[in-house]
Homo-oligomer: A and B are copies of this chain.
Amino acid sequence: MIPAVSIVGKSGSGKTTLIEKLIHELRQRGYRVATIKHNRHGFDIDHEGKDSWRHKKAGAQMTVIASPIQVAIIEDTERDYEISELIENYIHDVDIILIEGFKGNAYPKIEVFRSEVGHELLYIPHNNYVAIASDQPFNIGIPSFDINNVTGIADLIENSILNTT
């Protein structure tokens, strides 16, 4: 089981920005990081007119694009996979997974909250929330970090998610 943590929060709260900073920080600490992003309304990933785009558009169920340094795969699925299935099917050779955009999941969660974006936390007790990252302090029984305290949040991930065995 690869350790995973979900970064949740309302739209515009700064989830992607925090994830970017955490990727940098965790890589600097020597960890290999994978990310998972869920788009409920589908996604548009390739560039119109490229060969791979034309393959997929023509009806290929799956298109693999390979280069000396990267591989990309675009494939049709018959349903919306659970995070656990995505991890099992696609993720390998990393130390930690940062998940963005699945709210109702069982993984440890860090909520990003900015007061200008929302008035209430998504946080629900006993739902595996391990921390809040916010522009204001919260006193709700789980660690509350300043949203820019990437070192502190990475320490928490390292101590409570990565090194728990």
A residues near B, CB below 8 A? Answer: 16, 19-21, 23-24, 27, 32-47, 50-52, 54-77, 79-81, 86, 90-94, 98, 100-101
Contacts and interface: CB of A to CB of B under 8 A. Distances in A.
20 contacts: A16-B54, A19-B58, A21-B58, A24-B58, A34-B60, A34-B61, A35-B63, A37-B55, A38-B65, A39-B66, A40-B67, A40-B68, A41-B67, A43-B52, A51-B101, A61-B94, A62-B91, A64-B90, A66-B77, A70-B76
B51 A93 contact: no
A100 B51 contact: yes
Given A59-B24, A100-B51, A76 B69 contact: yes
Contacts of A69: 42, 76-77, 80
Contact of A70 (B54, B57, B75): B75
Number of copies: 2
B76 A63 contact: no
Nearest to A52: B37
A23 B42 CA distance: 23
Interface of A, secondary structure class, is mixed
Contacts of A64: 34-37, 86, 90-91
Nearest to A68: B80
Given A61-B93, A66-B36, A68-B79, A16 B51 contact: yes
A38 to B, nearest CB: 5
Contacts of A34: 60-64
Contacts of A27: 59
A81 B62 contact: no
